[in-house]
Amino acid sequence: MIKLVEKRKPDTVMMRDVYIDQLIEFAKSDPNIIVLDADLMHSNGTYRFLEKFPERAINVGVQEANMMGIAAGLSATGKIPFTHTFACFSTRRALDQVYISIAYNKLNVKMMATDPGVTAAYNGGTHMPLEDIGFVRGIPTITIIEPVDTVMMKALLKDITYSYGPFYVRISRKTTIRVFEEGSSFEIGKGIVLREGKDVTIIATGIMVAEALDAADLLASEGIDARVVNIFTIKPIDRELIEKCASETGAIVTAENHNIYNGLGSAVAEVVAETCPVPIERVGVKDLFGEVGDVDYLKKRFNMTAQDIAASVKNVLLRK
Amino acid sequence: MLTDNEMKELEIFATKIRIETLKELGYLGFGHIGGAMSIVELLAVLYGKVMRYDPKNPKWEDRDWFVMSKGHAGPSLYATLALKGFFPMEWLKTLNRGGTDLPSHADRNHTPGIDMSTGSLGQGISMGIGIALGHKMDNKENYVYVLLGDGECQEGQVWEGALFAGNAGLDNLIVFIDYNKQQLDGYIDNINPLGDLRKKWEEFGWHAQDVDGHNVMQIHEAIQRAKETKGKSSVIVLHTIKGKGCTFAEGIELNHHMKFNEEQINDAISALQKEWEEKERDLR
Ligand SMILES: Cc1ncc(C[n+]2csc(CCOP(=O)(O)OP(=O)(O)O)c2C)c(N)n1
């Protein structure tokens, strides 16, 4: 069951802090939980776990590939390792280790990939992961999660921790827009209808969910009745819900903080093409490298605002 | 050997770089202060004396190349390049703003004088090797200078490069390591210690030297010795202090990326200005 907040606004707590506090809670009664970080403990907030459990927190230094391999080894001995580094380095810098050491070996590593997409902001183009979902989606068995806000992050952590198998979690470090009321619950693999509508479905993930809800408000004032769905499990994706939305609303717009290639938009388009072909438009970065700037600037720069989503809805409706 | 006056001029240049770096970061209010400050004497020697370059023609074929593998030190490199006329000083006000040509991490697509884009640690040494190889193939005499961070040396790729170049005997490649003993999360010795870097690189077949990385004379002499060493790549381990010369950053454990206010910046700048004036007096 979910409940939406009445008025969406920036959270008062950072996602990294809510996450690590919850992990610390679990770790109090579970000695198998191990935290690894690659010299970003003060960026990712994992230093707080180190303070509580120094013997179970490992800062390997600047060496992401080694960290992934060590995590695989720890998992082979029954531990539940959580790796932490920026999403760009979790993938680009360590992908073969993620693939072979972790996934191919069928091990139980939880990869916490911070600063997804434009939230890498001031770190700029080299640090901006706009393709990580694509990399990971091509690896069998890895569950990909992109939490929307702190309530969802906290609620999902138990299942992430105790469902055996590799997880890739695209987690914001800083504050996000609060979308869900405290007490909401979520099921991995199941999308959520956030707003009913019959003309079109906007399917959004991560920080784009708040934009999608804003877009639906904009569209409502123009007489367009948009459904808004959050897909937070990008893999395995909720095929049933996507098919249902395609057949009931006849048009789909996806919105993601990622390249429109190989991310949510591609995943949704595959399902729609295979089950119930309807027109689709994809909002996200149009095959460009990232750049430096604040998140608001970057959202505008890459046409990822509520206005951009609303414009895509109008385009897709013309093709309906 | 530098003359006494040359040495003092380089020291003054270093102080100017620090002041401009502080102003540049001050406009923004946050940034990678520690690792930008520890490399300033190196930048002063490279751009003030050693490197061949033409600010009006940054892609000049006969230039020496500089690959700053620790790309997050962009701010002090930008200040150096601006002071040397690669682009207007005004650009320094735009650091990290949307649409800027001076992003936090060095980027060859944006900034005149940046030879390779960096930011993902560990990659600069390999690119430097490639450039050095390319120049050898073309019988060209350009030098390639690569700057690594010490934390960066925890990346396996650094040691792949060290092994390869050690075997390839690329004497047109000179690598510096900014051994400031600190990484993002604090002191390297508390995280994943590097030990005696000079010895390690020697084992990998390099001509290796330890120098005081805040002493322009020592840096300059080490580069001369490196150039005189034929048939081997050279590494110069710069023993430095993270945050050097910045009143609010030096001596702080977590000074990798900091927030600062106008007052802190102004205090740090006036301390440096005093230093500058003293050196100027000394020069005359
Ligand atoms: C591959 C990679 N991993 C992590 C980071 C994040 N990061 C940026 S700087 C830094 C610390 C680097 O320490 P060091 O090389 O000693 O730099 P310095 O102290 O000279 O600033 C880290 C972990 C990165 N830029 N690249």
State pLDDT tens for residues B91-149.
999 999 999 999 999 999 999 999 999 999 999 999 999 999 999 999 999 999 999 99
My answer on whether A134 and A246 are in the same domain is no
Q: Is residue A197 part of a domain?
A: yes
**Can you give the pLDDT at residue A226?**
98
How confident is the model over A82-96, as a mean pLDDT? 98
Say if residue B284's pLDDT is above 90: no
Q: Is residue A142 part of a domain?
A: yes
Q: Is residue A156 part of a domain?
A: yes
Confidence label for B67 from pLDDT (cuts 50, 70 and 90): very high
My answer on whether A202 and A164 are in the same domain is no
Atom of ligand 1 nearest to the CA of B38: 20
Say if residue A280's pLDDT is above 90: yes
* DSSP H or E stretch at residue A284: strand A280-285
Q: Are A298 and B98 spatial neighbours (Cβ–Cβ below 8 Å)?
A: yes
Say if residue B239's pLDDT is above 80: yes
Confidence label for B283 from pLDDT (cuts 50, 70 and 90): confident
CATH number for the domain harbouring residue A267: 3.40.50.920
Query: What is the chain A residue with the closest CA to B185?
Result: A39
**Can you give the pLDDT at residue B282?**
85
Query: What is the chain B residue with the closest CA to A299?
Result: B98
Average model confidence (pLDDT) across chain A: 98
B229 interface with A at CB cutoff 8 Å: no
Interface-testing mutation among A126, A294, A304, with chain B (most B C-beta atoms within 10 A): A126
Q: How close is the nearest chain A Cα to the Cα of B227, in Å?
A: 31
Contacts with A174 from chain B: Cβ below 8 Å: none
Contacts with B71 from chain A: Cβ below 8 Å: 126
- A191: closest CA among A257, A246, A140? A246
| Residue A156, both tokens | 């999902």
How confident is the model over B218-232, as a mean pLDDT? 98
Q: Is residue A183 part of a domain?
A: no
% residues pLDDT > 90 (chain B): 98
**Can you give the pLDDT at residue B77?**
98
Q: SS in 3 state form for A201-269?
A: EEEECCCHHHHHHHHHHHHHCCCCCEEEEECCEEECCCHHHHHHHHHHHCCEEEEEEEECCCCHHHHHH
CATH number for the domain harbouring residue A129: 3.40.50.970
My answer on whether A43 and A158 are in the same domain is yes
* DSSP H or E stretch at residue B179: strand B173-179
Q: Is residue A184 part of a domain?
A: no
Do residue A92 and residue B120 have CB atoms under 8 angstroms apart? yes
Interface-testing mutation among B67, B100, B125, B184, with chain A (most A C-beta atoms within 10 A): B184
For domain B4-283, give the CATH superfamily.
Thiamin diphosphate (ThDP)-binding fold, Pyr/PP domains (3.40.50.970)
**Can you give the pLDDT at residue B250?**
98
Q: Is the CB of B180 under 6 A from ligand 1?
A: yes
- B233: closest CA among B280, B183, B172, B284? B172
Average model confidence (pLDDT) across chain B: 97
Residues 6+ apart with CB under 8 A from A252: A200, A201, A202, A203, A242, A245, A246, A268, A272, A278, A279, A280, A281, A316
My answer on whether A112 and A35 are in the same domain is yes
My answer on whether A34 and A93 are in the same domain is yes
Query: What is the chain B residue with the closest CA to A297?
Result: B98
Of the candidates B30, B103, B156, which has its C-beta nearest A124's C-beta? B103
For residue A148, count other CB atoms closer than 10 A to its CB. Answer: 26
Amino acid, single-letter form, for residue A114: T
β partners of residue B53: none
Tokens 């109008």 found at: A314
Do residue A292 and residue B104 have CB atoms under 8 angstroms apart? yes
My answer on whether A19 and A167 are in the same domain is yes
Q: How close is the nearest chain B Cα to the Cα of A293, in Å?
A: 4
Residue-wise pLDDT tens digits, A103-148: 999 999 999 999 999 999 999 999 999 999 999 999 999 999 999 9
Do residue B104 and residue A122 have CB atoms under 8 angstroms apart? yes
Q: In which region does residue A143 sit, left (phi positive, over 0), alpha (psi from -120 to 50) or beta (all else)?
A: beta
Do residue B191 and residue A298 have CB atoms under 8 angstroms apart? no
Q: Give the residue from A171, A205, A223 where a domain finishes.
A: A171
Q: What is the number of structural domains in chain A?
A: 2
Tokens 């191990």 found at: A34
How confident is the model over A246-268, as a mean pLDDT? 98
Say if residue B200's pLDDT is above 80: yes
Q: Is residue A9 part of a domain?
A: no
Contacts with B121 from chain A: Cβ below 8 Å: 62
Q: Is residue A8 part of a domain?
A: no
Q: Is the CB of B152 under 6 A from ligand 1?
A: yes
Q: Is residue A154 part of a domain?
A: yes
% residues pLDDT > 70 (chain A): 100
Q: Is the CB of B150 under 6 A from ligand 1?
A: yes
Domain of A164, in residue numbers: 15-171
Do residue B188 and residue A61 have CB atoms under 8 angstroms apart? yes
Residue-wise pLDDT tens digits, B24-45: 999 999 999 999 999 999 999 9
Q: Are A39 and A13 spatial neighbours (Cβ–Cβ below 8 Å)?
A: no
**Alpha carbon distance, N-terminus to C-terminus of chain B:** 20
Residue-wise pLDDT tens digits, A4-52: 999 999 999 999 999 999 999 999 999 999 999 999 999 999 999 999 9
Q: Is the CB of B149 under 6 A from ligand 1?
A: yes
| For ligand 1, mutation pick of A40, A62, A97, A127 (most atoms within 8 Å of CB) | A62
* DSSP H or E stretch at residue B49: none
My answer on whether A19 and A165 are in the same domain is yes
My answer on whether A51 and A156 are in the same domain is yes
B11 interface with A at CB cutoff 8 Å: no
My answer on whether A270 and A157 are in the same domain is no
Contacts with B97 from chain A: Cβ below 8 Å: 292-293
My answer on whether A246 and A314 are in the same domain is yes
% residues pLDDT > 90 (chain A): 100
List C-alpha distances in Å: A171 to A19, A174, A227: 9, 9, 25
Residue-wise pLDDT tens digits, A163-193: 999 999 999 999 999 999 999 999 999 999 9
